[in-house]
Amino acid sequence: MKLFRIIVFSPIVLLRLIFILIISGYVVTVGLAWIKFFGFSRKMQQWVMSTWGKSICFFLGIRIIRNAIPEIKNFILMPNHRSYLDIFIVAALTPSAMVAKEELKNWPFGKVGIKITNSILVDRSEIRSLIKTMNAIEASVKKGIPVTLFPEGTSYKGPLTKPFKNGSFKIAADTKIPVIPMAIHYKDENDAWVGNDTFLAHFFRQMGKPVSKVFVQYGAPVSDTDYKKLQQETKNQIDMMLQQLIEANRN
């Protein structure tokens, strides 16, 4: 009943949710048509992710304050994970192939979205799936499509990061692909989507604001064939950037 009241008295949030569905349907349709007539390409994948992410961020009133990403071609982007909003932000700023949980294929537009964005699904409970993921990441980067991987494995409110999963860094170390650390900090800490909170309840509670501020900081690329060192350096950079962003935006 409480959620029903929020929906009824939050028409702007309802419009924003409908827009997400419309823009998702639009980019999927264009992407599938593109593949049918011209085949898959980095140009198409980049257009789909960038158009989808930038359009949603604009319509949701997400204002991003950021620095420039390091200028290297082949990399794995590793951000901390606060919310589903992270996906839109990464897509808008760094249109990459995303490593996601197997359940993504059950979402609206999930299966076709995976196809047109070159996204990579992983079942962390299976060793064979991790090997397949490593090969898919390496193949994507070789095609000039960077990969985004959330090393925490799930969303976390912070203030800094929770322990990172080992598998992410074993993949990066074994494939010798540089990692770019990325810190994401929301001005409103309630924009974090964690625990047993449902998507709709959180969306209607938080997305009625005219503007939601988010601060993004890219770190220096990290490379190491020792996955433990790679993991620690990446975590240190993200935690340091988060701490700086928190202190700089306390008021």
pLDDT at 195: 84
| Partner residues linked to 101 by β-bridges | 122
Q: Cα 195 from chain centroid?
A: 18
Secondary structure of residue 17 in the 3-state scheme: helix
Strand-pair category, 62-66 with 147-148: unpaired
231 has a pLDDT exceeding 70? yes
| Helix%, strand%, coil% for the chain, nearest 5 | 55, 15, 30
**For residue 251, is pLDDT > 70?**
no
In DSSP notation, 145-214 reads: --EE--TTSS----SS-PPPPHHHHHHHHHHT--EEEEEEEESSGGG---TT--HHHHHHHHTTSS-EEE
Is the Cα torsion angle 68, 70, 72, 75 positive or negative in sign?
Answer: negative
Contact 194, 42 (CB under 8 A): no
Domain ranges within the chain, ordered by starting residue: 2-248
Q: For the segment 74-126, what is each residue's pLDDT rounded down to a tens digit?
A: 899 999 999 999 999 999 999 999 988 766 666 666 677 788 888 888 766 65
Give CA–CA dist 165/156, Å, rounded: 13
- Whether the per-residue pLDDT at 8 is higher than 70: the answer is no
2-248: what fold?
Glycerol-3-phosphate (1)-acyltransferase (3.40.1130)
- Token pair 């961020």 in the structure block, residue: 57
Q: What percent of the chain has pLDDT over 90?
A: 63
Average pLDDT over residues 35-55: 94
For helices 110-117 and 11-38, the axis angle rounded to 10 degrees is 50
Q: Among residues 208, 211, 219, which one has the least CA distance to residue 186?
A: 211
| Tens of pLDDT, residues 194-203 | 888 888 889 9
